[in-house]
């Protein structure tokens, strides 16, 4: 007497696990895929499979890449003396769009949050510390301007202070509590330009 076939329900349930997808959108996506052609559904499945097989983390900066090291880390034109620290690859992409930053990156994969059980060992602090060699002049802390991102920037500043490297915090014209992934390009460019010393 089930109104919805079990396999359809399972597909919708998988969609609902994705970030930003509620029950209604999940059901809509599931129905859409069942109505679409075999070819279209197969294309989506193949795209997921291929991306998962081809994409890995850059062994230098942790961003997602098909080649290791990534395009930025292997580009001799990029300034290796300045490192920009971000929480997620999406943040890196937002900064790249502005074309204002010519240095390299370090992706932490998260921010400190004791509530979620995330401490310095759960994000890549160790990797960052090991990358701050004497030839690095500046570390730009570009974690998100919310409580967790600010605390992460403060923590990294304390950890890196003994190295004597110049530490700057991106100056947000963004609403506090925001996410730099969603900042418009002009705001983002200005934030980089006006970064302040920590």
Partner 1 sequence: MQLFDVTTQGFRNLTPDPVSFGAGITLVAGENAQGKTNLLEAVAVICGQRSFRNAAPAEMARDGERFAVRAVVAARRGEERVAVTWSREEGRAFARGEKAAGFREISELAPAVFLAPEHRELVSGSPASRRRFLDRLVVGIKPAAGDDLARYGRALKERNALLSRWRLSGGGAEDELAAWTEELATAGAAVRRHRRNALESWDAEFRALAAEAGGDLADVRAACTAASDSPDEIRAACRRLSGLEKKRGHSLAGPHRDDLGWTRRGKPLAAEASAGEIARTVALARLAEWRSVAAASGEAPLFAVDDFDASLSEASAEEFFKALPRRAAVVLTTAAPASRWARRADAVIEVRRGTASGPRTLRAVRA
Which residues of the chain form contacts with Zn ion (CB under 5 A)? 58, 60-61, 69-70, 73
Based on CB atoms, which residue is closest to Zn ion, 30 or 70?
Answer: 70
114 binds, among Zn ion, partner 1, none (CB under 5 to 8 A by kind): partner 1
Least distance from C-beta 150 to partner 1, angstroms? 6
Which residues between 123 and 162 bind partner 1 (CB under 8 A)? 146-148, 150-152, 154-155, 158-159
Least distance from C-beta 22 to partner 1, angstroms? 10
Rg (CA), the chain: 20
Query: DSSP per residue over 71-86, as a string?
Result: TTTT-TTSEEEEEEEE
73 binds, among partner 1, Zn ion, none (CB under 5 to 8 A by kind): Zn ion
Please name which of 165, 159, 156, 158 lies closest in space to residue 138, comparing C-alpha atoms. Answer: 165
Based on CB atoms, which residue is closest to partner 1, 28 or 78?
Answer: 28
CA 194/CA 197 separation, integer angstroms? 10
Return the residue matching tokens 């193949």.
Answer: 46
Task: Answer whether 111's CB lies under 8 Å from 87's CB.
Answer: yes
Which residues between 74 and 133 bind partner 1 (CB under 8 A)? 112-115, 119-120
Half-sphere exposure of 191 (CA within 13 A, CB side): 27
Where do contacts with partner 1 occur on this chain (CB under 8 A)? 112-115, 119-120, 146-148, 150-152, 154-155, 158-159, 176-177
């Amino acid at each position: 007497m089930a109104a919805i076939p079990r396999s359809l329900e399972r597909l919708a349930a998988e969609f609902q696990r994705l970030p930003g997808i509620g029950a209604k959108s999940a059901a809509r996506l599931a129905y859409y895929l069942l109505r679409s052609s075999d070819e279209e559904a197969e294309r989506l499945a193949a795209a997921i499979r291929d991306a998962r097989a081809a994409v890995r983390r850059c062994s230098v900066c942790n961003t997602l890449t098909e080649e290791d090291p990534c395009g930025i880390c292997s580009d001799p034109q990029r300034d290796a003396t300045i490192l920009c620290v971000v929480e997620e690859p999406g943040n890196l992409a937002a900064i790249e769009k502005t074309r204002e930053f010519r240095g390299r990156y370090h992706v932490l994969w998260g921010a400190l949050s004791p509530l979620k059980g995330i401490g310095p060992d759960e994000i890549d602090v160790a990797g960052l510390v090991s990358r701050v060699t004497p030839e690095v002049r500046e570390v730009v802390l570009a974690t998100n301007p919310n409580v967790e991102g600010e605390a992460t920037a403060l923590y990294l500043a304390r950890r890196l202070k003994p190295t004597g490297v110049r530490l700057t915090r991106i100056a947000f014209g963004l609403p506090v509590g925001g996410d730099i992934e969603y900042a418009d390009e002009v705001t983002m460019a200005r934030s980089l330009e006006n970064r302040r010393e920590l």
